[in-house]
Structure 1
Amino acid sequence: MKTVYPLFINGKWEESGNLKEIKSPYDGRPVGQVFFARSDQVKEAIAAATAAFETARRMPSYERARILEEISSGLKRRREELARSIALQAGKPIRDSRAEVDRAIMTFDLASEEARRIGGEIIPLDLNAFSQNRWGLVRRFPLGPITAITPFNFPLNLVAHKVAPALASGNTILLRPASQVPITSLLLAEIVAETGLPAGIFNVIPCDYQAAENLIADERIKMITFTGSSSVGWEIKARAPRKRVTLELGGNAALVVEPEADLEFAVLRSVTGAFAYAGQICISIQRLFLHEKIYDRFMADFVARTRALKLGDPLDETTDIGPMINEAAARQTEEWVNEAVEKGARIVCGGKRSGSMFEPTILEKVEPEWRISWLEAFAPVVVVYPYRDFEKALEAVNNSIYGLQAGIFTHDLKKAWLAFEKLEVGGVIINDIPTYRIDHMPYGGVKESGTGREGVRYAIEEMTELKLLALNLK
């Protein structure tokens, strides 16, 4: 990997007077230096994306598909370099980082397929006498320049979920990656630059909040797609009332385990769902509801497997859990856990912090309104509750300001269907964890968890506008 990374604006690499060092959250080692854009450079990128939109919208589907295929091929060629960049910047264990690259490859492959089949429909308009011999043709058109703002926890695949559908649908895009992990997006820009994509269609502009204001307020921006915290997301939407805005925000995911479930599989998946990437996933299990009949048996296995997880260097092939994104995040987790303990909670395992590392932690005897249960922890912490009645458990799941995904382990089809009907979430996962996501499925939340949907085909719908052509064939 090189050590200095310029901006990518209008098909060219640009420097600025603002060079920032990116450091590993694990040990503080320097990862690289990145130029952060000035406000005038952000405006330059917006102008480039605006000028390039006519080229993008007229690009034939086979050409858009080809470019997306070549991006996918470039990701495959540079898989290890990209995975290492994720591990170093975000602290994600290297095995998980490789898995993220593989998911991004799939996301671009899916977008290549979808670019070829963005269709429309023919509708009859002869619904009364004065409208005889009339037909309607409905087709999707791209919106224009799109601002994409992405978080630190998936530095490549969450970028892919914004860039790939934007390119597939003929839009231009301005990407502002999270300030902790910009290098991965700039490596993606190197790959995109090799495909022959016309200048200005794709721009990568790491920048501070003040410069990023242009990406929200500028009237030439037609859509904002944001993944991040609920507070920031809703503020963006309030400041851009006339733009299309999709928000993939925070969560407080719950899992319910019924007595007839496959407990061994449920435990294995729960360990992953609660603690993968140090819990820094918006659909990480934070609340675990266990039927009282299987509570002790489940907990014995769950605790044993949690204690067996290895914390350490993200570049170590044997590491299961790396650091949190910074020490401040780990300190907040420590504060919330200690606060719960002072109020009467019991730490079953974990609970200790060392720098930016926080042990996988299981808590019991937590009241639902305490911060560690009510707010999004975004940490390797799970709160466990026993329950007796399934419908009461569903009510407890719904007792949240968030609504992204929920998981139910049951072999009872009626209970599965009841959960699907009753749960106030964007997705209900049966016989798996709420952390499950495959990249073509619709993904998004309700309540404080956001608005709109990702998943390539669904994101394309968000990034396009329906237009009607009404034909009088008399």
Structure 2
Amino acid sequence: MRNRSSPAAEFIHEHQLDAMRIAGRRVGAGRESVIGVSNPYTGERLGSVPKASVGEVREAFAAAAAFKARLTRFERAAILNQAAAIVRERASEISALITAESGLCVKDSMYETGRVADVLLFGATEVLRDDGQIFSCDLTPQGKKRRVYTQRAPLLGAISAITPFNHPMNQVAHKVVPSVATNNRMVLKPSEKVPFSAILFADILYEAGLPPAMLSIVTGDPREIADELITNEAADLVTFTGGVAIGKHIAARAGYRRIVLELGGNDPLIVMEDADLEEASTLAVQGSYKNSGQRCTAIKRMLVHESVAAEFTERVVAKTQAWKHGDPGDPGMDMGTVIDEAAARLFEARVEEALAQGARLLAGQRREGALFAPTVLDRVRPEMTVVREETFGPVSPILTFRHIDEAIALSNGTAYGLSSSVCTNRLDYITRFVDELQVGTVNVREVPGYRLELTPFGGIKDSGLGYKEGVQEAMKSFTNLKTYSLPWH
């Protein structure tokens, strides 16, 4: 009998998470062509997933296209509510799996598990809400005694979904739940770095009563199957969360079909001269280091008024040094690893480059494998790579400004436009930031990433095409709107 050295590896083996799910069937277990998955902290090989062939991807789309979902609103809500109950019941084991394959600490993986349950619950609630509109036609002298109605219908074909590594199950939930809620069929490819959480999520939905043809999970090398995922003739819509370069490639390659792209961010925390610096510095470390800084909405730049920069920086450094990082499986840790050693080396190199260009290191810049210590820099300039590009890890670069015009220009001075955070109590400042920041979200006295799983979320510029995620908006994107009218006397 094969020995397994960790509970996570045993869990993966016991639940047969080493196989794809094509319309509910377990496919590919035991084959030679696989992708190994390892724990980023221990290096232990947790298991593997099969490399899907192009033919298997086509098979998944064919199964999805051939199935016409007829679930009532009640039935869809019941499935999503039951899945939420299963997630809550198994929260500890789901959290342990996320931690093992991603390196996120237990605090972060438990929080993610709760968010997954929220997505399911919001989806169940939205299913029960009538999404039609009614327009009376006798509104002008040219009007008639008619009424115009609208209703939403699922797409004719399937949805192709591609998810990243940073939220192994919640990113999957944000694609799958709106698809189920709207009676669509989906083929999803999770990141090859964290595939097990996606496969487990599919199994939970099957257990909750989802017809298997409504969801397939394919795994594999994106160099081999990505093109099929974005060009298959059965795919009416491609929804992708990930990096800008890949997102733009998808936009160029997908052709005449709907695309929803949620890409990177370079989100600022803007601290004005009237800000509560205790609150602002707390938001700074939470927004920078939760999820190991691996969030598109993590704070990537701290823009601070020069009159309060010294005190703010002192507080951030103290709170950074108190942020516990290490073994992700230790419940006392505030932060685990980043996704792998290569990512940690990239952050290390960007910080070294900034230091060579005149930035000052105040905390961190220590790496051990995939562990990268929370790091604070000041004397940072906008042209430095560490803030010009999205540094997707626990790095806090501090820049200063003299007045609000300069703060807005600094914030808008990158290619990204996802989210932002503003620390001030002045309404005149707040209204200017809301009106003038080129982003999808402005959060006042809160981290850039704050949202409900229900509310609209997405960016502009290189952060996305303007289509929103969040359960409610995704359900709109995943449907066709039909208008009809009737005489009304």
Match of 1:309 in 2: 323
Answering whether residue 69 of structure 2 is matched by residue 60 of structure 1, we say: no
Hey, what's the Cα distance between the residues in 2 that align with 1:44 and 1:51? Answer: 11
Partner in structure 1 of residue 278 of structure 2: 264
Task: State the shift of 1:410 in Å.
Answer: 0.8
Alignment correspondent of 1:212: 226
Shift of 1:291: 1.6
Partners of 1:284 and 1:10 in 2: CA distance: 35
Post-superposition CA distance 1:179-223 (Å, at most 9, x none): 000001111122112122223101111122212322111111011
Q: How many Å separate the matches in 2 of 1:2 and 1:287?
A: 38
Partner of 2:52 in structure 1?
37
Structure 1-normalised TM-score?
A: 0.96
Output one character per residue of 1:74-100: Cα deviation in whole Å (capped at 9) or x when no partner: 111211111011101110001110000
The question of whether the paired residues in 1 share the 8 Å contact of 2:12 and 2:46 is answered with: no
Pair 1:124 & 2:136 matched = yes
Q: Is the 8 A contact 2:35 2:51 kept in 1?
A: yes
Instruction: Find the partner of 1:340 among 354, 358, 370.
Output: 354
Indicate whether 1:113 and 2:128 are aligned: no
For 1:242, the equivalent position in structure 2 comes to: 256
Aligned length: 471
Inter-partner Cα distance in structure 2 for 1:118 and 1:215? 32
Question: SS state of the match for residue 450, structure 1?
Answer: coil
Provide the rounded CA distance (Å) in 1 between the counterparts of 2:321 and 2:453. 31
Match of 1:84 in 2: 96
Report if the CA contact (8 A) 1:118-1:140 is conserved. Answer: no
**Corresponding residue for residue 199 of structure 1:** 212
Alpha-carbon distance in structure 2 between the residues aligned to 1:335 and 1:11: 44
1:131 deviates by 5.4
Q: What's the offset of the Cα at 1:391?
A: 2.4
SS of the residue corresponding to residue 437 of structure 1 reads coil
**What is the CA-CA distance between 1:350 and the residue it aligns to?**
1.3
1:453 and 2:465 aligned: no
Equivalent-residue separation in structure 2 for 1:433 and 1:129 (angstroms): 51
- Does the 8 Å CA contact 1:254/1:397 hold for their aligned counterparts? yes
**For the structure 1 residues 239 and 118, does the alpha-carbon distance in structure 2 shift closer, same or farther, using more than 3 Å as the test?**
farther
- 2 CA distance for matches of 1:196 and 1:366? 53
Are the counterparts in 2 of residues 118 and 169 from structure 1 also a CA contact under 8 Å? no
Normalised to the residue count of structure 2, the TM-score between the two structures is: 0.93
Q: Show the counterpart of 2:35.
A: 20
Aligned pair 1:174/2:187, yes or no? yes
Identity of aligned residues (%): 37
**Shift, 1:128, TM fit:** 6.2
Instruction: Report the CA distance between 1:299 and its aligned residue.
Output: 1.2
- 1:113-137 CA-partner distances (Å, limit 9, x unpaired): 0011141111133466675223211
CA contact (8 A) 2:49 2:220 kept: no
Q: Which amino acid aligns with 2:21?
A: F
**Which ranges in structure 1 are unaligned for 5 or more consecutive residues?**
none
Q: 1:102: Cα distance to partner?
A: 0.2
Aligned to 1:71: 83
Take 1:422 and 1:195, find their aligned partners in 2: how far apart are those partners?
45
1:294-314 per-residue CA deviation (whole Å, 9 max, x = no partner) reads: 211111111011012222111
Contact 1:42/1:212 (CA < 8 Å) preserved in 2? no
Contact 2:458 2:464 in 1 (8 A): yes
Q: Which amino acid aligns with 1:92?
A: L
Indicate conservation of the 8 Å contact 1:2/1:32, yes or no. yes
The amino acid across from 1:124 in the alignment is: S
Superposition CA RMSD, Å:
1.5
State the Cα distance separating 1:473 from its structure 2 match.
Answer: 5.1
CA distance in 1, matches of 2:456, 2:202: 26
Which residue pairs with 1:399 in the alignment? 413
**Counterpart contact for 1:93–1:315, Cα < 8 Å:** yes
- Out of 141, 146, 149, the position equivalent to 2:153 is 141
* 1:136 aligned partner, one-letter code: V
Do structure 1's residue 253 and structure 2's residue 263 form an aligned pair? no
Superposition deviation, residue 11 in structure 1: 2.1
Do residues 188 (structure 1) and 198 (structure 2) align? no
Deviation, structure 1 residue 338: 1.1
Measure how far apart 1:472 and its partner are. 4.0
Tell me the SS of whatever aligns to 1:282.
Answer: coil
